Amino acid sequence: MPYSFNMNIKVKKSDINKRLDVYLSDKIDLSRSQIQKLIKQNLILVNGKEKSVHYKIRKDDKIIIKNVEMRNCAFMQKNKTLPKFKIIAETDDYLVINKPAGVIVHGGESVEEATLTDALEKQYPEIKKVGEDPLRPGIVHRLDKEASGLMVVVKNNKIFDHLKNQFQKRKTLKKYFALVYGQTSKEHDEINFPISRSAKGYKMAALPRSPRYNFGEAGRSSDTVGMRAGRNAITEFNVEQKFINYTLLDITIKTGRTHQIRVHMSAYGHPIVGDDLYGTKKTREQNAKLKLSRIFLHAHTLGFEDLNDEWQEFKIELPRELKEVLKKIK
C-alpha cells in the first residue's frame, strides 16, 4: 500500500540558518536524499515558494509538505533496512569499522538507498553535528561503494579536525589488497599519474607521465581528450602473490583521490578484478565468469595518530568472498 502524508511546520528561532534538507531530516522520518528529491519535485514549499535544498531557514518560516504518496514504505519508516557494519575498535573520540562492499558511505542528491551514515546516525546520533558537511557527518575519508575494509568515523569536531589535518598532510597509513589482471613486470612500483574527471564525465581518468607504461582503457585518449590538468596522485604497490593470469597486490596510497587505485591500476595496464567501470572488454567478460558481485579491493590496514599523538594501527583479513576467489584462480 502507498504511504501518504502532509505536514505544516513553523521554524523556531533555535533552528535558524540550518539547511532546509538537514532541518527536515531531523523533524520527520525521511532521509536527506529523500527530502532532497521531494524539494526538487516542488513538493516542499517555504512560505508558499519553491526553495533549493541549500536554502537556510529563517525564524517563522512556514514549511509545507504537500500531500505526498510514497510507495517505498520500508525506506520511509523507522524500521527501514539500514546497512550493517562491524566495529573493530571504539573510543570516546572515534570508531574504526569494517565497511562491507555494496554500501555507499554517505548520501547525496542522487542517492536514494540507505547509506553507512544513515546507519551510523541511528546508532550514534551525536555525530550528526560532527564535521563540515551535514551529508557526511563524522566522515573524514571514504571507500568506494564496491570496496570493503577499514574506515575511521569520528565522534566529535576536535578529532575531526585532528584527523582531517593528518589525511591532508599524508600522515595516515592506508593499505589495500587488490587482485589485478595479468602479472606485473615489477615486484614493487610507484604510480604517480595525475587524476582528473574523465572527458566522459561519469568516471575518473589518469594522465600518464611516461610512455613506458602499458596503458589500460581508462588511460586511453578517448577518456583523456579534453580533460583539465589532473590532481597529483601517488599509489605504491608490492606484489603479495602471483598467479598465472592474476597478481595479488599490497597497495599503499599516499593521496586519496576518487577511484584512485582503480584508475591507476587500469592506466598501468592491470585493471582490478571485478571492476567493470575501469576494465577492458576482455576483463569485463572475465568478471562475469568469476561471478564476483564486487571489486577485489579491500582496505586491510589503517593507521593514524589519536588526540594524544599516539600512533594507532588496525588490521583485518580479506573477507570470505575474496578468499574464495583466490581459491578459484589457483
Length of the chain: 330
Residue pair 271/216 in contact (Cβ under 8 Å)? The answer is: yes
| Active site positions, annotated | 144
Set of cell numbers at residue 300: 586491510
Looking at residue 117, its amino acid is T
Longest dimension (CA), the chain: 69
Residue pair 59/11 in contact (Cβ under 8 Å)? The answer is: yes
Q: Rounded to an integer, what distance in angstroms lies between the CA atom of residue 119 and that of residue 107? A: 11
Cell 505536514 -> residue: 7
Q: Rounded to an integer, what distance in angstroms lies between the CA atom of residue 206 and that of residue 41? A: 37
Residue 38: beta bridge partners?
none
Residue pair 54/40 in contact (Cβ under 8 Å)? The answer is: no
